[in-house]
């Protein structure tokens, strides 16, 4: 079986290359991910369809808040330094400081408790757009193509698209989990190999969270990560009392933090977008939401495939541990391939910059 997709960037590889041979020193960054074709459920853009370009901001978005779930051991200074004019709501879930203005009822359910608490406490005074994120500057929960960087993700995020869609996951990449068909609530054996237990947990949780739903959807899924953006209208379509009841469920459930948090990780799209499965074609997602617009779906898939091949070549290089002239030759060849891929990515970003709407 093909090994799990590499979710971190390749800086580690390069440190190891330098150890093997110090003849050439270089720094390499290249995000890799797997491309995916459209599914047949109508929730994924057909691969032969050009993504619409983001509309420029035409007004109507006057307030954006970053809602941040953090721990006392995590640093959040990067937010103020990169987004000094953006309103923030930073919750430190394990803090014992009694003077904190932003508090959760308890530290449970990972980021879900923070998100639910913010919505409840600010329901009557929500910003036009709320962006719900973790405290990490860089992490595997943020897209590889955007450098695993929350700063770049937020800087490129198309706010008019958030406003028009109402909700979307901040991650476009389908891997390492969540899309296109992840958890099956009707036949648990059909869930992804790592998701059968999670599907069983989610099925029971949804029967408690949504008792009015007579028949649960067959498939549930969206890109993993637990970070998303939502408009005021999307949040307020749901009565405040429902949000309160859902947080009460989180407070009272016997599920562990991990499992209760995972329940909500695959529930937000159902609550805010009304879709059990929300897996957009990645080519269209990157262009419409982040202004990273490849020439075509095929160009995106070709770039992805070449990136996978480059990853394999680096792995082979590390296994071989060549020295001397052979090491220099192999390094130069790999760097040349890397530079070519970087050029295509830069062109995609430049293409999107010409049409991308307002961002932070």
Are 33 and 173 in contact, with CB atoms under 8 Å apart?
A: yes
Q: What is the DSSP letter of 149?
A: B
Query: Where residue 193 falls among pLDDT bands split at 50, 70, 90?
Result: low
Q: What angle do CA 234, 287, 129 make, to 5 degrees?
A: 25
Q: What's the rounded Cα separation, in Å, for the pair 88 and 114?
A: 13
Name the more confident of 230 and 194.
Answer: 230
pLDDT at 127 over 80: yes
Q: Output 207-211 pairs: Cβ under 8 A, ≥24 positions apart.
A: 208/249, 208/253, 209/246, 209/249, 209/267
Q: What is the pLDDT of residues 349-358, one digit of tens each?
A: 999 987 776 7
Beta carbons within 8 Å of 260's beta carbon, 6+ residues apart: 108, 109, 110, 112, 205, 250, 253
* Domain extent listing, the chain: 11-38+294-353, 64-290
What does the pLDDT read at residue 33?
32
Tens of pLDDT, residues 49-76: 444 444 444 447 899 999 999 999 999 9
What lies within 8 Å, CB to CB, of 252 at 6+ separation is none
Least confident of 149-153, 165-169, 207-211, 355-359: 355-359
Query: Is the model's pLDDT at 23 over the cut of 70?
Result: no
Q: 195: pLDDT confidence band, cut at 50, 70 and 90?
A: low
Which carries the bigger pLDDT value, residue 141 or residue 13? Answer: 141
Per-residue model confidence as pLDDT tens digits over 247-263: 999 999 999 999 999 99
Q: Give the residue with greater pLDDT, 319 vs 103.
A: 103
The confidence score (pLDDT) of residue 5 equals 32
Enumerate the β-bridge partners of residue 250. none
- Stretch (H or E) spanning 115: helix 111-121
pLDDT at 282 over 70: yes
CB 50 within 8 A of CB 30: no
Mean pLDDT throughout 121-135?
97
């Amino acid at each position: 079986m093909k090994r799990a997709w590499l979710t971190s960037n390749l800086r580690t590889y390069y440190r190891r290359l330098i150890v093997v041979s110090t003849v050439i020193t270089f720094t390499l960054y290249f995000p890799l991910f797997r491309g995916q074709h459209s599914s047949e459920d109508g929730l994924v853009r057909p691969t032969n369809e050009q993504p619409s370009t983001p509309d420029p901001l035409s007004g109507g978005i006057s307030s954006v808040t970053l809602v941040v779930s953090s721990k006392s051991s995590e640093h959040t200074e990067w937010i103020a330094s990169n987004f000094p004019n953006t309103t923030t709501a930073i919750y430190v879930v394990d803090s014992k400081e009694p003077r904190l203005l932003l508090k959760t009822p308890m530290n449970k359910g990972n980021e879900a408790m923070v998100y639910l608490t913010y919505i409840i406490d600010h329901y009557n005074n929500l910003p036009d757009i709320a962006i719900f994120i973790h405290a990490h500057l860089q992490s595997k929960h943020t897209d590889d193509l955007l450098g695993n960087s929350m700063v770049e993700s937020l800087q490129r995020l198309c706010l008019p698209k958030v406003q028009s869609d109402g909700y979307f996951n901040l991650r476009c990449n389908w891997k390492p989990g969540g899309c296109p068909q992840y958890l099956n609530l009707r036949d648990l054996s059909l869930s992804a190999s790592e998701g059968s237990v999670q599907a069983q947990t989610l099925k029971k949780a949804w029967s408690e969270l949504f008792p009015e739903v007579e028949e649960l959807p067959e498939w549930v899924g969206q890109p993993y990560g637990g970070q998303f953006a939502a408009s005021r209208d999307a949040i307020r379509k749901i009565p405040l009392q429902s949000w309160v009841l859902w947080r009460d469920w989180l407070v009272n459930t016997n599920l562990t933090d991990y499992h209760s948090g995972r329940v909500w990780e695959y529930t937000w799209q159902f609550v805010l977008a009304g879709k059990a499965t929300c897996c957009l074609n990645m080519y269209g997602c990157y262009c419409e939401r982040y202004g990273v617009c490849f020439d075509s779906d095929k160009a995106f898939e070709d770039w992805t495939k070449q990136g996978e091949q480059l990853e394999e070549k680096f792995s082979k290089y590390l296994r071989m541990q060549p020295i001397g002239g052979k090491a220099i030759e192999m390094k130069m060849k790999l760097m040349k391939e890397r530079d070519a891929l970087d050029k295509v990515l830069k062109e995609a970003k430049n293409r999107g910059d010409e049409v991308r709407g307002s961002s932070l």
